Amino acid sequence: PIQSEGLLGSEILAATDMDQDHYPDLVLANRIMYKQSLTTFHNNGDGTFTQTSSIPINRTEETQINFPASIQLKDMDGDGDADAVIQHQSSIKDPEGRPHTNLVSVYENQGGGHLALAQNIFGGTAEQVSHQCLVVEDLDGDLDRDIVVSDGDVTLMVIENLGGLNFMEPRRVPAPGLQRYFSIAPLDLEGDGDIDVIGSSKANSTINIFINDGDGNLAADPAFRVNANLPETLLVDDFNSDSFPDFLTIDFSPLFLRPKGGFNLFTNDGAGKFSTTEPFYTASHDPLPRFLVSGDFDGDSDIDFAA
């Protein structure tokens, strides 16, 4: 185990090579009130880690609360180093005094995994910012990674990256049929090389697709709507090895409905239509998982998942 004061209250974790030594390092975000911080741990190459930096998450008198909710480690300025993009639930207000509880912060990697705040971006108002509601991908084909967040209401917010850590003002994408507390993930639904976005709504038990026109403009596909059982989180991968993106959901069920957590696998027929089999469950006494990751964990060329 890794022992560090910076780990106290850490719920948000991401891994990638932050210092270009070909070993995946760790970046953790601490959510404890008044101790919110961003900590980088260097991978020594032998399975051990050393803390290299820890910085307070930007907080001023106007931003009394910044609770990290999602984190992505991607190169945002084209210098070859992985930077950090964090979505916060925040008490920040915009210049007009309106509350923006959805705050996106971009931290520049200044080398060796040392992060420094580059920009805060207002991401809309929200009663609550849920986990895994952040997509960082090149939507418009200009080789700069753009940002998509759920604003916790019935819209997505697209933040275009102009290069050099300069960003456009967020633009809203209506998300009809989706309500707050949903997660989003990238996928290429049509196989055209454009990154689309899939979103799940726990509030009304639906999955929706937002199609990319190739210029970074997303629009909800009215013909696509999949019913799910209170989906908490979703994960996109090719689970049946047919080269088409499938998705997996964690279904949230209160104890009085079903005393165990459930998973639903939706497979893609290649034409953008999805089908599912009976859900499968954790043991009745196990807590409901909140996060999903995938990979070939046993070397058999099939995609597995962990929750």
Instruction: Return the pLDDT at 219.
Output: 92
Residues 172, 286 within the same domain: no
Domain annotation covers residue 203: no
Strands (E), 110-168: 115-122, 134-137, 146-150, 155-159, 161-163, 166-167
pLDDT class of 13 with cuts at 50, 70, 90: confident
Domain end marker among 125, 149, 181 = 181
Contact 208, 199 (CB under 8 A): yes
Domain annotation covers residue 282: yes
Question: Which ranges constitute the DSSP H helices of the chain?
Answer: none
Residue 141 in tokens: 């084909």
160-189 as b/e: b if 16+ CB within 10 A: bbeeebebeebeebebeebebbbbbbbbeb
Residues 176, 235 within the same domain: no
Contact 137, 186 (CB under 8 A): yes
Residues 36, 175 within the same domain: yes
CA distance 203 to 293: 23
Q: How many domains does the chain have?
A: 2
**Which residue from 164, 202, 53, 41 is spatially nearest to 116, judged by alpha carbons?**
53
What does the pLDDT average to over 193-202?
A: 89
Question: Mean pLDDT across the chain, nearest whole number?
Answer: 83
Domain with 144, as residue range(s), is 5-181
CA distance 252 to 301: 30
What does the pLDDT average to over 138-147?
A: 96
What does the pLDDT average to over 31-44?
A: 81
